Each structure stands twice: as structure tokens, then as C-alpha cells.
Amino acid sequence: MNQDVIWDHFQNEGVDAFSAAGPRLHFLVRHLSRGERVLNIGVGSGELERIATRKGVEIWSLDPSERTIRKLQASLGVGERAKAGYSQAIPFPDGHFDAVIMSEVLEHLDEEVLEQTLPEVRRVLRPGGRFIGTVPAREDLALNEVVCPSCEHKFHRWGHRSSFDAARLRRLLETQFRVERLDERFFNDWEGAPWSRRLTGLLKKFLSARGLGTYGIARNLFFVAAR
């Protein structure tokens, strides 16, 4: 299955899939400072770029989807600060960024691409720069496996290829970085959601925190690692 096809669809025709991402994106931007030069890899709906721009962050973007990049350039006027490309071959200079963000992206990469991506992230960070991101916590990939009715090919509905628990993520990050923070969080749209969804979110948070029920995908691992 071509990952680019899945990602291009969700970031354009299926952009509503990112409607609940607000709390996670606001949380990430709180870890950035005005005036910092930051690369976001994996644009999604472009909301992180908009939040960061309002804060005064110099935001740059990288995404495989040409359509997504063109939309971002048109809406925010970022010009060459937004480019189409891949995390394993980042088209920006060495030591160019204060921080690199990859939120809900690493799980889309297979082992080979993961091994190529982390040195690239390190390369474009200045000394002391931070690698910041999230991944789904302890996701059972089989639970979201679907089959194409035309060709019978089986694939993850969101294009995920990797699953992480805290130990695996730490080992991966430590091949290139010094891990400063790695913890498990639950993001929910407490303000914008109807009461029924807020109550469901509270129940999931309660059960997940106590290891009850199958709510792994509802929680995220958040990390900050330094070059």
C-alpha cells in the first residue's frame, strides 16, 4: 500500500479526520518559544502551523503531499519555508532549526525509514536543539487493519506501520538524542466537545490510567529529546 496515497487523501479530501487534534497541537506549541525556528514534519490539516504562527514562532514545514504544501503556502504565505519531501531526506541545511516536531508521524514509518529519519532530524537541529513529538501509545496495529475490496490487500486504515511503548521509543530516540522527557498523556477536546464526549473521554482516561480496557490508541507518548 502506497503510504503517500493514504496521507494525501486524509490531508485534503479527508481533512476532518484531524478535527480532534486541537488539544494535542496546542500542547505541543506551548513547548515552543516566540522567535524560534521550528520545522514541523507531517502537516496534517496545517493547524499546528497556524497556532505556532500566531504565537510568533518561525514555522517551517515538510510533508510528502505536494497538494498539502501548496495549500499551506497559499493560506499562510510561507513560501519556501514549506517544502514537499520526506523525513529520511530532509531538504534543509545542517543545524538550521531550534526544534523539530513530528507528532503522530513516526508510527507511519517502517523500521528502515525510522533508522534513516532520526539522523536526518539530528542533522538539521542546532546543537542543543530539541526533537519534540507524539506517537500513539501501545497501539495494537491489528485492530485497525482493513482490506481493500478490489485487490484484497490488507493495510492499516491510517497507514500505521510501527507501534511504540515507552521502552521502545526511548531506545529508538537514544540512538541519536538525549531524552529529556518521555511520558504518557491523554488528549481530549474538553472545551469543544459535547458533554457526552467529555464524559466518554473522562471514562477512557480513568480506565486507561489503571490498565483497564483496550484504550491504548486513545493515549499518546509525548517526548522531548535534545541534540
Q: Is 95 helix (H, G, I), strand (E, B) or coil?
A: coil
Q: Can you give the pLDDT at residue 212?
A: 43
Backbone angles phi, psi at 217, to 5 degrees: -70, -15
Residue 144 is classified by DSSP as G
Per-residue b or e along 8-25, where b marks 16 or more CB atoms closer than 10 Å to that residue's CB: bebbeeebeebeebbbbb
Strands 58-63 and 82-84, bridge-based pairing: parallel
Residue 198 within a domain: no
Number of domains in the chain: 1
Residue 84 within a domain: yes
Residue 61 within a domain: yes
User: How far apart are alpha carbons 162 and 169 in whole angstroms?
Assistant: 11
Find the mean pLDDT for residues 175-199: 75
Residue 11 within a domain: yes
Residue 122 within a domain: yes
Residue 200 within a domain: no
**Which tens digit of pLDDT belongs to each residue from 98-153?**
999 999 999 999 999 999 999 999 999 999 999 999 999 998 878 877 777 878 77
Residue 170 within a domain: yes
pLDDT: is 86 or 199 the higher one?
86
CATH number at residue 129: 3.40.50.150
Q: Write out the residue range of the structural domain in which residue 45 sits.
A: 3-189+215-226
CA quadruple 30, 55, 74, 107: dihedral, nearest 10: -10
Share of the chain above pLDDT 70, in %: 77
Q: If residue 203 lies in a helix (H) or strand (E), which one and from where to where? A: helix 195-209
Residue 154 within a domain: yes
Sequence-separated (6 or more) residues with CB below 8 Å from residue 113 = 86, 87, 88
**Which tens digit of pLDDT belongs to each residue from 193-208?**
455 555 555 565 555 5
Q: Can you give the pLDDT at residue 133?
A: 98
